[in-house]
């Protein structure tokens, strides 16, 4: 089930909050850790499908955070 799309003003406010949080020193440290745990992870050909799906879900979440940070910064 998908949540209803929030009004643009709410989405923009949330995006600005993401930008503030992940622009701080601590936020950048956390984001670097998340990227290392997701994007920089190498899977082997014998990785089970369930594990691949799990990792792809994590990658999608980190990508969503990065997208909101960029929107919040006006990029």
What pLDDT, on the 0 to 100 scale, is given for residue 38?
95
Q: Residue 11: is its pLDDT beyond 70? A: yes
Residue with tokens 């984001």: 31
**Banded pLDDT at 3 (limits 50, 70, 90):** low
User: Is the confidence at residue 34, as pLDDT, over 60?
Assistant: yes
Query: What is the C-alpha separation between 12 and 25, in angstroms, rounded?
Result: 22
- Position with higher pLDDT, 5 vs 22: 22
| Torsion from C-alpha of 42, 44, 45, 47, nearest 10 degrees | -100
Q: Which of 22, 28, 5 is nearest to 72 (CA)?
A: 22
Average pLDDT, the chain: 92
pLDDT at 4 over 90: no
Per-residue pLDDT tens over the stretch 43-66: 999 999 999 999 999 999 999 999
């Amino acid at each position: 089930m998908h949540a209803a799309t929030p009004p643009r003003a709410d989405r923009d406010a949330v995006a600005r909050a993401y930008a503030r949080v992940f622009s701080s020193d601590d936020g950048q440290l956390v984001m670097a850790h998340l990227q290392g745990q997701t994007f920089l992870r190498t899977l082997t050909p014998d990785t089970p499908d369930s594990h691949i799906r799990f990792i792809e879900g994590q990658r999608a979440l980190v990508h969503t955070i990065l997208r909101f940070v960029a929107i919040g910064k006006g990029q």
